[in-house]
Amino acid sequence: MLLYWGNEFIQFYNDAFRPSLGNDGKHPRALGQRGQDCWPEIWPSIKPMLDQVMADGESTWTENQLFPIYRNGQMENTYWTFSYSAVLTDFGQIGGVLLVGQETTKAVLAQQKLQHSEARFRTLVEQAPLGIALLSGREMIIKVANGPMYDIWRQDHSVLEMPLIEAQPELKGQKFIELLEAVYDTGEPYFGIGERAQTNRDGTLQDAYFNFVYSPCGMYPKLSLE
């Protein structure tokens, strides 16, 4: 917690807020310092929010807001989830603003890294010469598929976010959905060699033979189908 007090927003903060100031940055001079002197790099962003709370007393809530601040001897991009709320004087007037929040930098950066990894994975899948699909949950929702897999299915991108059984209704009564469910439930991959499947070709069911792998994937979690 950090308290901005008075019209000059003099700062007071507790021990839990101290680590976010860095080992070589604003502490200890930040204690008792004016907000605009402590945070010149972000003051244009936070001052309007503080002024608003001081003016009308309405609390604010912000999630994962980016604030580039100076700490540890350099500028760092930090992310915060926090609220601003009015603090009253003994006379019932607004005397300051209380910041209650948590730095979420590690969580945000981890999420960004995961999203980057997923994007790279999707690119690799889409460029692979073999048919690959990624299915989510026991419902086998189609999340990712590449061109060769669409060719096998005789489908296009319109089947994304559909259960596999809806995209390929001819699989009803065949063993493949049960095999996928077993892989999902047990985490054990299934390897099919030269297995017969009835596929829809020009409106009729025809026999086709496939080598394939159903393997668990922990990213979503999902199953990969190759």
Domain boundaries, the chain: 2-103, 121-225
Rounded average pLDDT over 75-98:
96
| Contact assessment for residue 174 and residue 198, using Cβ atoms and an 8 Å cutoff | yes
Check residue 222 and give its pLDDT.
43
Rounded to whole angstroms, the Cα distance separating 88 from 96 reads 7
The 10s digit of each residue's pLDDT in 8-50 is: 999 999 999 998 888 776 888 899 999 999 999 999 999 999 9
The 3-state secondary structure of 201-216 reads ECCEEEEEEEEEEEEE
Assigned fold of 2-103 = Beta-Lactamase (3.30.450)
Q: Per the confidence metrics, is the pTM higher than 0.75? A: no
Alpha helical stretches, state H, the chain: 35-38, 43-56, 105-127, 147-153, 164-167, 176-186
- Residue 61 in contact with residue 43, Cβ under 8 Å? no
Through-space distance between the first and last CA atoms of the chain, rounded to whole angstroms: 52
> In CATH, what class is 121-225?
alpha beta
pLDDT at position 221: 39
Q: Is the predicted pLDDT of residue 226 greater than 80, yes or no?
A: no
Q: How far is CA 23 from the centre of its chain?
A: 29
Is the predicted pLDDT of residue 199 greater than 60, yes or no?
yes
Per the prediction, the chain carries an average pLDDT of 90
* Structure confidence at residue 218 as a pLDDT band (50, 70, 90): low
Mean of pLDDT values over 63-91: 93
Domain 2-103 and domain 121-225 have a common topology: yes
Provide the pLDDT for residue 107: 94
User: To the nearest whole percent, how much of the chain has pLDDT over 70?
Assistant: 96
Q: What is the pLDDT of residues 126-171, one digit of tens each?
A: 888 989 999 999 999 999 899 999 999 999 999 999 999 999 999 9
Residue with tokens 């980016």: 66
Q: Is the pLDDT of residue 120 over 80?
A: yes
Angle at 213 between CA 121 and CA 146, to 5 degrees: 40
More confident residue, 217 or 149: 149
Task: Give me the pLDDT at residue 127, please.
Answer: 87
User: What is the predicted pLDDT for the residue at 220?
Assistant: 41
Q: How far is CA 150 from CA 33, 47, 215, 223, in A?
A: 63, 53, 19, 17
